[in-house]
């Protein structure tokens, strides 16, 4: 079975819809999923926007109707991404500032504390998007979940 992923060398995503007569969506590569996640786009089609406001998420993709809405608590996992990245950057910045540039810890603490408040707030949407990407990567069956299509087939 031929791989049915976009191969445009410019990185621009071409149509990624199922082939005619085939109801299954092609499985994107992990790099494609991450790229879509960082652009806050639908992991399945790469076209629809994940968010319709600053914080408000679309219930489903406006393009392919992939469900973004998940059971309660699903997106709690995105806090691990957000917290992990914040902790990693803060630790690295402290180590570099303290031991490479010999800046006193008392000088570093306030800008890093501000970073710990601002960064997770700004990264909130991307953390959610990347959490959804991980779900699609490790359980690719969710990419083909389509309530409308399932009802038609039953």
With CB under 5 A, what is the number of residues at the site for Zn ion? 8
The nearest distance, CB 20 to Zn ion, in angstroms, is 18
Min dist CB 47 to Zn ion, Å, is: 6
Q: Which is nearer to Zn ion, 65 or 98 (CB)?
A: 65
User: DSSP 3-state assignment of 78?
Assistant: helix
Q: Indicate if the alpha-carbon torsion angle 25, 29, 30, 35 is positive or negative.
A: negative
Q: How far is the CB of 95 from Zn ion (least distance, A)?
A: 41
**Which backbone phi and psi does 41 adopt, to 5 degrees?**
-110, 165
**Binding segment toward Zn ion, per CB under 5 A, in 19-27, 30-38, 39-47, 137-145:** 39-47
* Cβ count within 10 A of residue 124: 16
One of 42, 132, 136, 143 touching Zn ion (CB under 5 A): 42
Q: Name which of 108 and 143 has its Cβ closer to Zn ion.
A: 143
Rounded to 10 deg, the angle between the 105-138 and 30-38 helix axes is 130
Residue 78: Cβ within 10 Å count: 20
Q: How far is the CB of 25 from Zn ion (least distance, A)?
A: 9
Q: Which of residues 43-72 bind Zn ion (CB under 5 A)?
A: 44-45, 48, 61, 63-64, 66
Report which of 55, 64, 45, 31 is spatially closest to residue 146, judged by C-alpha positions: 64
**Interface positions with Zn ion (CB under 5 A):** 42, 44-45, 48, 61, 63-64, 66
């Amino acid at each position: 079975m031929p791989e049915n992923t976009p191969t445009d060398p410019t990185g621009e995503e071409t149509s990624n819809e199922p082939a005619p007569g085939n109801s299954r969506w092609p499985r994107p590569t992990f790099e494609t999923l991450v790229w879509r996640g960082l652009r806050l786009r639908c992991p399945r089609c790469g076209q629809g926007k994940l968010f319709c406001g600053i914080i408000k998420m679309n219930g489903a993709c406006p393009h392919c109707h992939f469900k973004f809405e998940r059971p309660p608590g699903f997106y709690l996992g995105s806090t691990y991404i957000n917290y992990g990245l914040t902790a990693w950057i803060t630790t690295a910045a402290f180590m570099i500032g303290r031991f490479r540039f010999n800046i006193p810890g008392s000088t570093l603490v306030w800008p890093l504390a501000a970073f710990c408040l601002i960064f997770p707030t700004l990264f909130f949407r991307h953390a959610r998007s990347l959490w959804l990407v991980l779900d699609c990567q490790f359980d690719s069956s969710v990419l083909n979940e389509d309530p409308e299509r399932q009802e038609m087939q039953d």
